Structure 1
């Protein structure tokens, strides 16, 4: 019998192994829920496959390598698998922890581009990714901590922060305090702030795509804030929009970084499924609250407009509005 390798997860190996226990003996029951696997057709990217691979690394049955780290990056952390799991296994959090430990062990991955962190203009809303969330998702905790603490220092003294993307808002709210970078300010989405100013209501049947960051891109429980988002939309529109629910396959559009950069074909296929889901429901205008999702969906909608029924992706972000006809 071959000797097991030393786990690169060190003292964290037992906890990661324990986190994968339920997955290791599961017959892939969350397969239907994963938008990545549904879009690509590759079961090697299913939550069960990624958690099993993580378990093998934790137990020393598989060597740590750049290939393993890249394989674990085939997850957007949308949380659909956790929603479908009767045990509510925290897949996204476990995979993120594994990527973090592999990054520390292996160093930078020369074949994977480090997520770019956008510059922040004075007085403008904070752009998507500026909180450093793409670095956190990639597992580069050293770079994330540096970016986050610098951002928190810049924002100290401000009473209100506008975020173009929900992922950044949740990152600042939930992750910054964990690294002693808490920001004492009111955190507001640009899109919701814009709706309070009553921007023009799009014509046609309106649908709403909830940000999957509200649940599990950061592996958090479903937040009560989602109810306030829907209430704000109803108040703005004057009626309840059609809702693309969390429990439907395909509600993650694939815009999350670094997944979008490293898996562009899969990200496009995921966006196409979201748009088709909306078309099947008779939706003409799809309201999206996060800028990165709106931009990604609008790009795909525009690229496919000649083959499908037109659908508009609408981000109510005031002067930073993103619209596209597809």
Structure 2
């Protein structure tokens, strides 16, 4: 992979923690041990780089001597609600210095927020999706839609069910509202629920509005991708927006890219949907993260009796755990991009 005089590439693996976690971080004891091992098998020297809120200078100094930075940091923490604006500022500086960052914050902004559901709504994975950029637009447009059919509202940023609500018409002016995070169910006047949503538009936030998928209890398929190639699947029954009497979902079951159950989905992703998405979002194939995933619910069957798939989320900022096949795939993608960058750099110098 390298010539005799080529030094190994240096890669930092970034995740969130506190000061003690940063000091004690070791590849062999981290939850990313399989990622470190895969990078090592591909001739890449990888080290931990724990992001500690308030220690931007420390992280910046570490990352600036790397060839690449691979990041696993959620957009919002479930425990404290902390975002990652300070981290993103560091990552943008690092990328400007010519260091590969995956996923780059600008790429996450385009594909890893719920707005991607609106921007790709005309694709084969799309549904009747709306985007509210202001509370006034939500108040004016949402009532007629929810009185027609159950809808799902999603904040532009979030994870773990944070900021996701199923809203269904009740009696009179009431609606039934279920929160995905804890499955709590309440009856509330629609005007009161809409008033609660005013804070979601602070600091440029938006809300995405999708139809509730009636087949959601039949399961969700998570399609794992490295760059532009599918590298595995995760199958799981979803109960986040199920009636409270349903039990919690069993663990996700992982499989490799050749799982025969999902070859039609794999073909659609690689041949059609990923190229269409990158074009719509103004991205290049090598802008896509070294590992990301797309979550699909089952839509109505088509005229041939085949299942359709409806996109409900893309995860681009912190995709883990992953199928057994994924670590070597993401390491190979990282290695290819770094090797190509080194060739371009060498060509410019010669």
Instruction: Tell whether the structures are fold-level matches, with TM greater than 0.5.
Output: no
TM-score, reference length from structure 2 = 0.33
Structure with more of its chain in helix, by fraction: 1
TM-score, reference length from structure 1 = 0.35
Structure with more of its chain in strand, by fraction: 2
